[in-house]
Amino acid sequence: MPAEMMTDANGIEYIGYNPISKEESLTKVRELYKSISKIASLNGIRPGNLLFDWATIAKIIERIEQKSEYFKIYHKNTKLNEIRKAALCSYRIIKYRPFKISAKNSITGSLHRINDNIKINEEVAYYLIVGAIAGLMKKKIPDYYESTSLEYKKRLIYAFSEHDINKESMILIAESLSEGLQLMT
């Protein structure tokens, strides 16, 4: 999937991006699905009630991979670290909202969206950031997720849903949270 020098029809060279294979994309989508199933169960949501927009998730993963390549090319082979990847993925999840909560109607058997106070996309974004930090610190994600301040978590999820946060801000939030949590341990 790396970027490489390409030539256009006029003979002009440019750096082009080769998209990841469908198999690699599917593998990454499955990994994300496992993580999201954990967040659903931590919030008391049955995995069957969590709906995924698979095409949007694949698009999000593709964009993160492109950003990784961008960093290698334009930032002197700098790798996009896990905290930044999680922040960018979180940003895109909040922007594209690929997750929905639904429940089966006991009378008709049809699915309908539950409109409750669970902001599932924001919860997923928070979980991904905390998961990346926990991975960096070699801690178990569910324990670490539950050990972060409930008040801070509520405020951050509120900010994710109600404030206009751009990519750079999301990266700064994730890196600041990482630094702060590492200092506390």
Q: What is the CA radius of gyration of the chain?
A: 18
Could you report the per-residue pLDDT of 26-52, keeping only the tens digit for each? 888 888 887 777 777 777 777 777 888
CA dihedral over 36, 38, 40, 42, signed as positive or negative:
negative
Distance CA 40, CA 126 (A): 12
In this predicted structure, the answer to whether residue 72 has a pLDDT above a threshold of 80 is no
Q: What token pair was written down for 162?
A: 């109600």
Q: Are 34 and 47 in contact (CB under 8 A)?
A: no
Could you report the per-residue pLDDT of 136-181, keeping only the tens digit for each? 776 655 555 565 677 888 888 899 999 999 999 999 999 988 887 7
Q: Are 50 and 36 in contact (CB under 8 A)?
A: yes
Indicate the burial class of 127 (C-beta count within 10 angstroms; 0-12, 13-18, 19 or more). buried
Which SS3 state, helix, strand or coil, does residue 106 take?
Answer: coil
Give the percent of the chain with pLDDT over 90.
Answer: 19
Task: For residue 8, give the H/E element and its range.
Answer: none
Closest by CA position to 55, among listed 29, 91, 19, 23 = 29
Average pLDDT over residues 11-16: 77
Assessment of whether the complete model's pTM goes beyond 0.75: yes
Output the pLDDT for position 92: 95
Distance CA 52, CA 44 (A): 17
